[in-house]
Structure 1
């Protein structure tokens, strides 16, 4: 499981023009069963994505397709988590 943080860079002003493509990238991640959660980080610092069912290498490749990354609107950090204990509702993450 991975937490991907997308922190706005100095090119944040380009974000509105790229939002449609960024949202399509997020939608694709959900449609393909990779993304579990996405949202904005506060206050207006960027965003974060919770991902699973993918290798780190494949996730790194996927992240490079985000228009925000392509156009240097955000910097990316990927945190890999090996779930050891979960609430019953999230037990599927341990698989």
Structure 2
């Protein structure tokens, strides 16, 4: 069982809500509603093998940083909501040396 069928089974069998992406296709037997108030944010992270120095990784990190700057990903609106522990963490202003 995979994808939509597995999600439909989970919702119907366990009668529990599931958080999903905003572009989630319809799921048989389920109702999909966007979370709009408060605005829910997802604390995305990148992970890679320690000591990895690859031009593809550098390009991906640079692209993510550029998009974050251009789209304001790191700027929280007044009505934004973050889960713990992210809500209590200070904002990240600079890159940590160990992330290189």
Scaled by the length of structure 2, the TM-score of the pair is: 0.28
Could you say which structure has the higher strand fraction?
A: 1
Could you say which structure has the higher helix fraction?
A: 1
| Larger radius of gyration between Structure 1 and Structure 2 | 2
Report 1 or 2 for greater relative contact order, CA contacts < 8 Å, sequence distance ≥ 6: 1
